[in-house]
Amino acid sequence: MSNLQPFHLAIPVHNLELCRNFYTNTLSLEEGRSSNHWVDYNFFGHQLVIHLKEQPQVDAPTNSVDGKDVPVPHFGVVLAWDTFHKFAVLLKSKGITFIIEPYIRFEGKVGEQATMFFKDPSGNALEFKAFKDMSQLFAK
């Protein structure tokens, strides 16, 4: 997995400055290029672009996973175990309202992972997760 290339993801936001503040200051992401209608971010080595679309997102449906209502669609990154826990502490210190608080999903089972969900100010759902054992990422 060390040869993975960065992905590119572009998402709509209803208020560019509000969301720019969220991704820059709350999530502490490095800003790249920008215009009056979009902003690039270094999203843990991947390229995330927020694009102004002035209509707010409609609440997304959910799917039950491990007894929790997971928003669909959502996006995020698989982080290193220690990075995940440090990031969760940072988010809590910045007052993030979690959809699903950081916890261990599938504990003691195949695919055991740390996970957390929250939304950006435009309603885009984000999930961050981590595996102690990365070989479990695609384990059945």
In a domain, 73, yes or no: yes
Residue 54: the pLDDT is 79
In a domain, 3, yes or no: no
Largest CA-CA distance found in the chain, in angstroms, rounded: 48
Query: What's the mean pLDDT when you consider all of the chain?
Result: 93
pTM > 0.85: yes or no: yes
Say whether pLDDT at 132 is over 60.
yes
Nearest to 71 by CA among 84, 58, 83: 58
Tokens of 77: 């990154």
pLDDT tier at 61, thresholds 50, 70, 90: confident
- How many domains is the chain built from? 1
Mean pLDDT of 85-109: 96
Mean pLDDT of 96-121: 96
Check residues 68 and 54 and name the one with the higher pLDDT. Answer: 68
- Contact predicate 118/97, CB 8 Å: yes
Mean pLDDT of 57-75: 85
Which residue segment(s) compose the domain that 124 sits in?
8-54+62-136
- Contact predicate 51/78, CB 8 Å: no
In a domain, 79, yes or no: yes
In a domain, 1, yes or no: no
In a domain, 2, yes or no: no
In a domain, 32, yes or no: yes
Chain center to CA of 42: 13
Rg (CA), the chain: 15
CATH number at residue 31: 3.10.180.10
Residue 56: the pLDDT is 61
